[in-house]
Amino acid sequence: MTIYRCQLELHDSLYFATREIGRLYETEPVIHNYALCYALGLVDSEVYSTTVPAEHSYRYFCPQQVPKYEEHLTPLNQQGIYITPARSINHTAILHTWKYANNNYHAEMHKTQKNIPSFGRAKEIAPESKFEFFAISQQPLTLPKWIRLGKWMSKAEVTVEPLENFKRSRGEFTCPYPLNPLDVMFTNHVISYDVVNMPPVSLIRNVHIQGEYYYWKKPQNLRIPVQMHYQFQGR
């Protein structure tokens, strides 16, 4: 078992619509573990080419706007690889206003009672913001140094640090890192948590858990749950 502590530094502003409040589209400073799996190239790497059908690959072309999370991420369970969601170490937000151009002269316009907004605002995460997540693997894992994230395919740098001398124990503990509840609740007893509402599966953080965990005295008396793997609704 190898556990990596990974830091991610943005080199572009990061945007994805965590929530929509009227005309404001807000990016939560949390990165979903599904998104990280795609960004890190784990889904489309050649090692999975025998288990993921070609029509389910998103590397070059996406013929359908239908997510295939179960088909894409189940091979990671078979390989013993798990990526946790990423939390912000430090970040700042920036607000952009965008407008639709008036193109009435391009086509005949029919009268409508619909109120179609001509502008909106996007709250994005600014460059130089940093995030942190963990990669857990049964075998040594090589992650890319540069990845792209979000709606604008923003560039980000990944720094990887192997965590050594960890131990395994059981009991009650609190994990301050965001977790995917589907991946945790089947193997651990979750007592309390805060919800981070975001698609496709809302995350939880400040989680008080009864179960097995990995721990290190350094850094910061770290504890994360054991036996996290990708689970999907309806299974």
**Strand, coil or helix: what is 37?**
helix
Question: What tens digit of pLDDT does each residue of 16-55 get?
Answer: 988 888 888 899 999 999 999 999 999 864 443 444 444 4
- State the Cα–Cα distance between residues 211 and 196, nearest whole angstrom: 22
State residue 101 phi and psi, 5-degree precision. -75, 150
Sorted by where each begins, the domain ranges of the chain are: 2-98+120-225
> 148 pLDDT exceeds 70?
yes
Provide the mean pLDDT of the chain: 84
Q: Distances in Å between the alpha carbon of 94 and those of 24, 121, 124, 133, 217?
A: 12, 10, 5, 23, 36
Beta strands 24-26 and 19-21: pairing type? Answer: antiparallel
- DSSP code string of 173-232: EEE-S-B-HHHHTTTSEEEEEEEE--SSS-EEEEEEEEEEEEE-STTTT-EEESS-----
**Strand, coil or helix: what is 1?**
coil
pLDDT of residue 54: 45
pLDDT of residue 172: 93
Q: Which of 49, 129, 32, 122 minimizes the C-alpha distance to 86?
A: 32
- DSSP code string of 59-104: SS--SSS---HHHHHHHHHHHTEEE--EEEEE--EEEEEEE----G
Residue range 2-98+120-225, CATH number: 3.30.70
- State the Cα–Cα distance between residues 15 and 26, nearest whole angstrom: 8
pLDDT of residue 66: 76
Contact 6, 36 (CB under 8 A): no
Q: How many CB atoms lie within 10 A of CB 195?
A: 10
Q: Which of 98, 143, 134 minimizes the C-alpha distance to 117?
A: 98
Q: How many CB atoms lie within 10 A of CB 172?
A: 11
CB proximity list for 209: less than 8 A, separation 6 or greater: 172, 173, 174, 175, 184, 188, 189, 190, 191, 225
Question: What tens digit of pLDDT does each residue of 90-103 get?
Answer: 999 999 887 765 55
Question: What tens digit of pLDDT does each residue of 49-72 get?
Answer: 444 444 445 555 566 667 789 999
